[in-house]
Amino acid sequence: MILAITFLFCIFLGRFLYIQLIWEEELHYRALDQWTREIPVNAGRGAILDASGELLAGNRAAYAVYARASAVEDAEGAADLLAGFLGDRETLLRKLTDRSKSEIVLCRRTAKEVVEALAEHEVKGVYYARNDERVYPYGALASQVIGFTAYDGTGTTGLEGYYDNLLAGKKGEILFETDLVGVDLKGAAAAYLPATDGLNLRLTLDVRIQSLAERVMGRVLGETSAKAVRAIVLDPRDASVLAMVNLPSYDLNEIPRSDLTLLNSLSRNRAVSDVYEPGSTFKIITAAADIEEYLRGNKRALDPMRHVFPSARTRTVDGTTIRCWSDHKNGKHANETLAEALNNSCNPCFVDIALALGKETFYDYLAAFRFGRGTGVDFSGESIGMLLPESSLRDCDFARIGFGQSIAVTPLQLACAAASAVNGGKYYAPRLAAGVFSDDGVKEEFAPVLLGRTVSEEASRILASMLEGVVRDGSGKKAYIEGYRVAGKTGTAQKYEDGVIAQGKYVSSFVGFFPADAPRYLALIIVDEPQGSYYGSTVAAPCAKEIFEGIIDIMKIPKEDTK
C-alpha cells in the first residue's frame, strides 16, 4: 500500500509540475482567449537589401481600422463619422452592425494621418493597428526573384515567400476584457502583447550588376523581337548569384492581381523553374568529362590534347544520322582536336566523346553536375530538368546528349554546372541570400554550401584554357574584350513543339566567364526565339561582352597581359 500510494503521489506530483511549469504558458493564453477579445498588432516586415545594403523591398507606414460591433454604441453615428475618412457609408454601416463576427476589418490600410484624425473622435468600438504597406524602390528590378506579398502581408512568391518565416516576424495583440457576448467590461484595462519585427534579408544580388544585366537584356529583347530573354550572373567561386534576369517583367508596386494568368506568367522565375535544350553550351560538360577521365587513366577517354576527330560531317548511331551544323566543305572542321572542336562547336566530335566514355561513366558525370536533380538553390519551385533514365536510353539519344540535345535543363542548372567545371571542380549550391540581421544588431551570415566535386583542378584548368580559345579564336569572338581573359561557349538550339522540330524557332545562348585562369564572374545569356539572326555567336555572345564590360567598369578591374 505504501508503494502504491507513493507511486500515485509521484504521478500527481509529476502532473502538477507539468501543468505549472511546462503547460503554463499555453494554458495562460487559452484562458486569455476565453475572457478577452483581441485586436492584432502586425509585426514590421523585414527589409530586403542587396549585397551592398541597397534597399530592394521595404515598408511604408500604414494602419488598419478594426471594429467590434458588440462594442459600438451608435452604429449610425459611427458610420457617418468614419465615412468622412474611409468612404462608402453604407458598407461601413453594414459592417458595424454585423454581430456575427468578433472583429471586423473596416479598412485594411490607410495613412497614419487618417488614423490620428479618427483617434481624436474616440469612436467607441473602433480600434487601429499597424499594417504597413510593402514598397519596392526599384519597381520591376529582379521582380521574379524578390517576389511580392499578399494583401495580409504574407510572402507569396519569390524570396518574399521563401524567407517569409524570417521576414514576417511575430504578431502581437491588444487584449480587451469582455463579457460573454463580447461587450467591454467597464473599468477593465487593455493588455498589450508587443509584436516582434521580422529580420532583414541581405541578398547576394548586386543592384548595379542586376540593373546592368536588365538594361542589356531589355535592349536585346526589343531589337530581336524575341519571345523572352534570361540572364544569370554569378560568382563561380561560391555560386553566389549576382544578377538574375527574366524579361518580360512587371512592376512590384503595380502587381496585376486582377489578371491571374498574366500575373502567374510574369512572376514566374523561369531561370529556376523552366527547362530548355541547352544545345552546344552543354559541350562544356562533355569536354570536362572527357578531360577528367583521360587524366584518371581511363583508356576509353579520348586524349584531349592529341586525339584527332574524323572529319566526316555525320555520325550514324542506331540507324539515325546525326549531322554537324557546318557543311564541312573546303576543309571545314577537318582533323580537329578537342580544343578545335570546341572552337568550331562540331557536333560529331562530342558524339564520339559520349560514345567513347559510355553511358555509365557519362551518367556519373551528369549526376555529379546535378542534372536531373535540384541545385540546392534557396528558392521555391525549382525544376530538376529532364534527363532520360539510363536504363531505357537509346544509343542515338545518348549520342545527342553529348552535344546538348535529348536533355533539358534549367538555366540555373547549366550556369552552376559550368561554374563548377571551370572553378576547380567544386559544385556549390547557388544562393540568393547572404544572411539576415535585425535592427538591434543580431546578425547571421549564410555560408556557401559545397555539395561535391565534379572534376579535378587540373581538368578544370585545361578546360578553361580551351574555352578561352573559343572566345579568342572560335565561335565566341563577339565576347572578346581586349586586355581581359574572357572564355566561354556559344549555343544555338532548335526548339521542339509536340515532339517535332519547330521550324524557325531557336534558343540562342552563351556561357562566358572571366578571368579565364581564375574566374570571378560567369554569365549565362539566353535569347528565346530571336527574329532574324539566331546564332548564339551573333545574338547572345555580344550580350555577355556588354555585361562583362559593365562589370569591369563598375568594379574598376584593370587590364592584364593576355599574351
Question: Cα-flanking dihedrals φ and ψ of residue 439, to 5°?
Answer: -70, -20
Q: What angle do CA 318, 323, 329 make, to 5 degrees?
A: 140
Q: Is 340:469 a contact under the CB 8 Å cutoff?
A: no
User: Rounded to whole angstroms, how far apart are CA atoms 246 and 141?
Assistant: 10
In angstroms, what CA-CA distances link 287 with 159, 403, 460, 478? 35, 10, 10, 22
H, E, C per residue of 62-113: CEEEEECHHHCCCHHHHHHHHHHHHCCHHHHHHHHCCCCCCCEEEEEEECHH
Q: Is 203:432 a contact under the CB 8 Å cutoff?
A: yes
User: Rounded to whole angstroms, how far apart are CA atoms 86 and 117?
Assistant: 12
Side-chain half-sphere exposure of 243, counting CA atoms within 13 A: 30
Helix (H/G/I), strand (E/B), else coil: 245: strand
Side-chain half-sphere exposure of 512, counting CA atoms within 13 A: 35
- In which order are the strands placed within the sheet that holds 126-130? 104-110, 63-67, 126-130
Q: What angle do CA 83, 88, 94 make, to 5 degrees?
A: 95
Q: Which residues fall within 8 angstroms of residue 455, CB to CB, at 6 or more apart?
A: 288, 289, 291, 292, 420, 421, 425, 463
Tell me which of 240, 249, 280, 475 is the catalytic residue.
Answer: 280
User: Rounded to whole angstroms, how far apart are CA atoms 485 and 256?
Assistant: 44
User: Rounded to whole angstroms, how far apart are CA atoms 191 and 333?
Assistant: 81
Q: Which three cell numbers stand for residue 448?
A: 556557401
- Any bridge partners for residue 67, and if so which? 104, 126
User: Rounded to whole angstroms, how far apart are CA atoms 107 and 149?
Assistant: 18
Of residues 552, 506, 554, 504, the one with CA closest to residue 529: 506
User: Rounded to whole angstroms, how far apart are CA atoms 213 and 274?
Assistant: 20
Q: Which residue bears the cell 572552337?
A: 343
Based on the residue annotation, tell me whether 280 is a catalytic residue of this protein: yes
Q: Characterize 369-404 residue by residue with b for buried, 16 or more Cβ atoms within 10 angstroms of its Cβ, and e for exposed.
A: bbbbebbbbbbeebbebebbeeeeeeebbbbbbbbb
In eight-state DSSP terms, residue 223 is H
Q: Which three cell numbers stand for residue 105?
A: 476589418
User: Rounded to whole angstroms, how far apart are CA atoms 514 and 539?
Assistant: 19
Catalytic residues: 280
